[in-house]
Amino acid sequence: MEVESNDGTSSSDVVMHYETIGTRESEQRKQILGQGGYGIVYKGLWGEEAVAVKRIQLANTTSSEKGEETLTRLKHPNVIKLLDVETDKYFRYYVLELCQLSLHQLFSGDKNHKQFREKMPSDKEVFLQLAMGLAHIHGMGLIHRDLKPENVLIWVDSTGERVLMKWADFGLSKPVNERGSCSMSGPNRGSDNWYAPEILKMTVEQDEGKLEKKNDEEEDQITPLHQRGTIKSDVFTEGLIFAFYLLKGLHPYGSSRFKIPSNIVEDKPKRKTIS
């Protein structure tokens, strides 16, 4: 989930019928924060607290339920917090702590986001926060599988003195075995530009039909390790994301989204120095 910016246009506000979390009110105007294929995210109130509400149609809640299961297990300051879940006749609502923007938006050029660059902690602190959050995810026996700047949210307290980086969007996450690996069956479409090279190679093989579909139990017994996802893949992508931060919004493997995957596989970074 990426928290999209509000540019002040009328499209950023909508009138939608929903049951306000915890209060059962009817129609209200809500500011859209993000929108995807399966639902929308908008600002809301949970009691007196401003929150982000992710609304998903019940027919499309499979991956969101996986994310919900994951977030209920994760309790860490560098992981987005799930506060509540409610369901009505048509939708499921996920109440999440409200963050100001994503890491992707930090360098988007939006004048409303430039102010946050001055509030960011030291590079070392940013890296430590990302590393500690990911270590917690892996320590709980999970692999994220969809790490990218859009899924790093930035929380800033009311004084602007405390800034936290938070991993978000666990719809593609999976449990790993004692070796830190998992099967690659099921949905595996995050963003190719942020995949580790071994995942990119597997994706190509899957697209070409070279891998047979097997259930997780069968794959635990017969699937070679190089055809499985591991937590090391998450760590590689974490490095890409930190490089993106140091490069002020530039991908270390190039600017063409069509060429970046092959550059990653061939280990041909296009930006080797960081000033």
Cβ atoms of 56 and 38 closer than 8 Å: yes
Domains and CATH numbers, the chain: 10-97 (3.30.200.20), 101-265 (1.10.510.10)
Could you tell me how many residues make up the chain?
Answer: 275
Instruction: Specify the DSSP element, H or E, that contains 45.
Output: strand 39-46
Q: Is the pLDDT of residue 113 over 60?
A: yes
Q: Is 54 annotated as a binding residue?
A: yes
User: Distances from the Cα of 55 to the Cαs of 150, 177, 247, 260, in angstroms?
Assistant: 18, 32, 34, 32
What is the model's pLDDT at position 79? 98
Query: Cβ contacts of residue 94 below 8 Å, gap of 6+?
Result: 53, 54, 55, 56, 64, 67, 68, 82, 85
Q: Is the pLDDT of residue 225 over 50?
A: no
- Indicate yes or no: pTM above 0.85: no
Cβ atoms of 160 and 205 closer than 8 Å: no
Q: So which residues are the catalytic ones? A: 146
Give the residue carrying structure tokens 């560098």: 78
Can you point out the beta strands (E) in 177-238? 181-182, 229-230
Considering only residues 14 and 181, tell me which one the structure prediction assigns the higher pLDDT. 181
Of the pLDDT bands very low, low, confident and very high (cuts 50, 70, 90), residue 266 is very high
